Amino acid sequence: MDRLFQITARGSRISTELLAGVTTFLTMVYIVIVNPGILSEAGMDFHGVFVATVLASIIATLIMALASNYPIVIAPGMGLNAYFAFSVVGGEGVSWQIALGAVFVAGVLFVLLSLTSFRYMLLDAIPTGLKHAITAGIGLFITFIGLQKASIIVASPSTLITLGTLSEPMTYLTIIGLMISLILMSYRVQGYLFIGMIITAILAWIMGLLDMPATFAAMPSGLNATAFQLDIAGVFEEGLYAVIFTFLLITLFDTTGTMLGVAEQAGLLKDNKFPRSRGALMADAVGTASGALLGTSPTSAYIESSAGVAVGGRTGLTAVTVSVLLALTLFFSPTVAVLANIPAITAPALIIVGFLMINVLRQIEWNDIEEAFPAFLIVVLMPLTYSIATGIGIGFIAYPILKLIRGKGRDVHPILYVFAVLFFVQIVFFNH
């Protein structure tokens, strides 16, 4: 094992790697509860998505561990699942089978990009400010969804949205659950989101808002309801090219940014370069494609991997440990289904993850109007149009226009002009 993962060479020990794996697992296991809950709102079978979530995570994470030897975990990405359920299925009005087809096409394109140097050209073509804006916009979108699920924000005939009735049991329990998670977070408790969910679940049971499942564990089932149900032909019939591009774009640079950040934290960069990057990106690409086949939204590298690195994780053994623990969750689907059905349990996680994502706003050059205003449009239009793709598209259109007006058209990468034209055509002529 030491030879396989170079544990000693990286200054680690097997016991340290195992502890790092447990730590990372506790920080990211909330996704097996939240992801099926979100995608089930698109009409997908909860148990099928739960199994698909776990299996796609295991497949991608094991490839990461064995092909690149990094302590990085991959699982269905927050934001991407919301985009899948609420923008593509809910907004575009297509079936979840077609949405899975779009994920699969994006995954295949990601695989092809991972084998070529074009992935770097694509990443370089997008200005840093727009990348940060997309991350922040998705964070705001996720937070908005969390507030909606808990009825903290409700529809209003006069103002579109307004504050809900905070005296409703589920609503004030959400606020209590949010405060519990924030307190745990402020004291740097590992796994604060998951622990917060468990404490909130206990409170929900005491308040009579949660019924205990007939059995806490059972053999995995339901995958046949989501696996191999994707409709690829429908993707092209509906003209979901912007959706494919959005899935691909977010997965590509979100994963790359997270991997670089975790690798730098672990001291694994060589001359500021990312060794074995092809295998690492391939892990996420295969995870996205296989996830679509099984029945879940695109995967992404998890920044929660940094928690395992913080306690000493330096090799793929950390990722393998997480995979083993994820496999064990397959036998607790009855419990997961009950927890995911209570908004007060899942909404705080959405709100806090959104908060963490929106932190990147401070890295945008706000005193530069050409950089700042397109970024601003992306951030505000994602939740206000209820569409991640629309927010990205309008920002990508505004950026080159402002540069051209200022006589700086040559500063814009040619690929970005192509993206701007494609988004303009999509939004103006083919927007559903």
pLDDT, tens only, 95-127:
999 999 999 999 999 999 888 877 777 777 888
Supply the DSSP symbol for 269: -
| pLDDT at residue 383 in the model | 92
Length of the chain, please?
432
Contacts of 9 (CB under 8 A, 6+ apart): none
| pLDDT at residue 125 in the model | 84
Q: Report yes or no on 4 lying in a domain.
A: no
Q: Report yes or no on 102 lying in a domain.
A: yes
Confidence bin at 272 (pLDDT 50/70/90) = low
Supply the DSSP symbol for 367: T
Confidence bin at 252 (pLDDT 50/70/90) = confident
- Could you tell me the sign of the dihedral formed by the alpha carbons of 291, 296, 299, 305, in that order? negative
User: For the residues 262-284, what does the mean pLDDT come to?
Assistant: 82
Amino acid letter for position 324: V
Q: Report yes or no on 86 lying in a domain.
A: yes
| pLDDT at residue 425 in the model | 85
pLDDT in tens, 24-66: 999 999 999 999 999 999 999 999 999 999 999 999 999 999 9
pLDDT in tens, 126-158: 888 998 899 899 899 999 999 999 999 999 888
What is the rounded distance in angstroms from the CA atom of residue 216 to the CA atom of residue 218? Answer: 7
Burial of 424: CB neighbours in 10 Å, binned 0-12, 13-18, 19+: middle
| pLDDT at residue 187 in the model | 94
| pLDDT at residue 97 in the model | 98
Q: Report yes or no on 5 lying in a domain.
A: no
Range with top average pLDDT, 47-56, 216-225, 258-267: 47-56
- Could you tell me the sign of the dihedral formed by the alpha carbons of 361, 364, 367, 369, in that order? negative
| pLDDT at residue 309 in the model | 92
Whose structure tokens read 């019939």? 237
Q: Report yes or no on 365 lying in a domain.
A: no
CB 73 within 8 Å of CB 23: no
| pLDDT at residue 430 in the model | 66
User: For the residues 407-431, what does the mean pLDDT come to?
Assistant: 86
pLDDT in tens, 70-104: 999 999 999 899 999 999 999 888 999 999 999 99
Q: Report yes or no on 201 lying in a domain.
A: yes
Q: What is the domain extent for residue 16?
A: 11-355+371-429
Q: Report yes or no on 1 lying in a domain.
A: no
Take residue 416 and report the two structure tokens written for it.
Answer: 């970005």
| pLDDT at residue 263 in the model | 84
Amino acid letter for position 309: V
| pLDDT at residue 23 in the model | 93
What is the rounded distance in angstroms from the CA atom of residue 331 to the CA atom of residue 29? Answer: 14
- Average per-residue pLDDT for the chain: 91
Domain count, the chain: 1
Take residue 56 and report the two structure tokens written for it.
Answer: 């796609």
| pLDDT at residue 431 in the model | 62
| pLDDT at residue 310 in the model | 87
Q: Report yes or no on 362 lying in a domain.
A: no
Take residue 145 and report the two structure tokens written for it.
Answer: 């969804």
Supply the DSSP symbol for 92: T
Contacts of 86 (CB under 8 A, 6+ apart): 41, 42, 145, 386
